[in-house]
Structure 1
């Protein structure tokens, strides 16, 4: 009898139909896992780029309109959602407890 280690389902970095989370049951070595790794990398790079753009915009605050800032904040909100999904996925694969209450205390 062969025993295989149970691996947690991987939360993928994209949503499924109707915006629902997508999960992958894998050992981490397949094509879909590699595609998810690439998408995560792109999402993290985009978030870093938006942070750099925000720093530039705040430095030149007289030249930035309210419309431009609202647009940037909307994109940053999307990027933060992606980054949180990546953190949740990676934390789950590491066995890290990620369900915090509003106080940030995982024990209550």
Structure 2
């Protein structure tokens, strides 16, 4: 079973029951994971720039913190999914 990088309508996990890494859904999940990681890298870069400024407003910090939390959530989900696949391969 593969944990997918998206959730269902209730915020719960979505699982894929196929061992075929070339299935359409597997490829779509791989592409979304890559996009999520790229987005997290961009958010991190922007947040670092913002934090390097001497005068930053509360709204900017809250926005950056929210985006960082979202990115961390997404990357942890990807790590859990990939870790689960490694365990099933071993």
Q: 1 or 2, which has the higher helix percentage?
A: 2
> TM-score with structure 1 length normalisation?
0.77
Match of 2:8?
Answer: 16
Match of 1:46?
Answer: 39
Secondary structure (helix, strand or coil) at the match of 1:19 reads coil
CA–CA separation in structure 1 for the residues paired with 2:70 and 2:53: 23
Q: CA deviation at 1:61?
A: 2.9
How many residue pairs are counted as aligned between the two chains? Answer: 87
Secondary structure (helix, strand or coil) at the match of 1:34 reads helix
Match of 1:91?
Answer: 83
Q: Root-mean-square deviation (CA), in Å?
A: 1.2
Q: Which runs of 5+ in 2 are unaligned?
A: none
CA–CA separation in structure 2 for the residues paired with 1:77 and 1:29: 31
Secondary structure (helix, strand or coil) at the match of 2:10 reads helix
> TM-score with structure 2 length normalisation?
0.91
Match of 2:51?
Answer: 58
Q: Which runs of 5+ in 1 are unaligned?
A: 1-8, 97-108
